[in-house]
Amino acid sequence: MHKPKPDPVTNDMIDVSQFETFMKAYQNMVFTTAMRLVANPAEAEDISQEVFLKAYERY
């Protein structure tokens, strides 16, 4: 089990395992949606990573 650790920027506690669960639940939907928009697997993967990075920053 992961323990919360401080965010180096805000010093808030982040529960990495909760975010990992969130990401696993939505990664296929995010990638599929991106593929429909750009029809390019590499670009869709980049978009997916950006989506989850933004989500993590706001988590």
Model confidence at 42: pLDDT above 70 = yes
| Angle between the N-to-C axes of helices 16-38 and 41-58, in degrees from 0 to 180, rounded to the nearest 10 | 140
Model confidence at 9: pLDDT above 60 = no
pLDDT in tens, 21-36: 999 999 999 999 999 9
Tokens describing residue 57 = 């920053």
**Contacts of 30-34 spanning 24+ positions with Cβ under 8 A:** none
* DSSP label at residue 56: H
- How far apart are alpha carbons 35 and 33 in whole angstroms? 5
Question: Average pLDDT for residues 1-17, to the nearest whole number?
Answer: 61
CA of 37: how far to CAs of 14, 48, 49, in Å?
Answer: 32, 12, 15
Q: What percent of the chain has pLDDT over 70?
A: 76
| pLDDT-derived band at 1, boundaries 50, 70, 90 | very low
